[in-house]
Amino acid sequence: MNGILWKLSTGAAWRDLPERYGPWKTVYERFRRWSADGTWDRILAHVQQHSDAVGQVDWSLVCVDSTTVRAHQHAAGARKGGPGRVRRSAGPAAD
């Protein structure tokens, strides 16, 4: 679990996982498997319930961040060649 948390907190590539966490493929497969079977959702729900029960959550400080991040054009599905690309006709223009 520490290897997964390290990767998520740093944003590094899986292949850059420090050796102390074991083989990166093993850690990645565990992360993928736990994501698919709902393990992460159960862990989060348990931590939230426990923290709320012992009074560690101050609900008056909970806020929602509505920051908008614009994706790069290649990530947003823009056409290749960009908007300035000119199509050429197959033959001479008819008058």
Helix (H, G, I), strand (E, B) or coil at 40: helix
pLDDT reported for residue 78: 60
Whole-angstrom distance, CA of residue 6 vs CA of residue 12: 9
Tell me what pLDDT residue 66 has: 64
* DSSP class of 90: S
The pair of structure tokens assigned to 70 is 């614009």
Mean pLDDT to the nearest integer, 57-83: 66
User: Which of 15-19, 55-59, 71-75, 76-80 has the largest mean confidence?
Assistant: 15-19
Q: Are 51 and 57 in contact (CB under 8 A)?
A: yes
Residues 4-10, mean pLDDT to the nearest whole number: 91
Give the mean model confidence (pLDDT) for residues 73-87. 62
Examine the pLDDT at 48 and tell me if it is beyond 80.
yes
Tell me how many degrees the CA angle 20-23-24 measures, rounded to the nearest 5.
100
Q: Which residue is listed with tokens 């899986």? A: 14
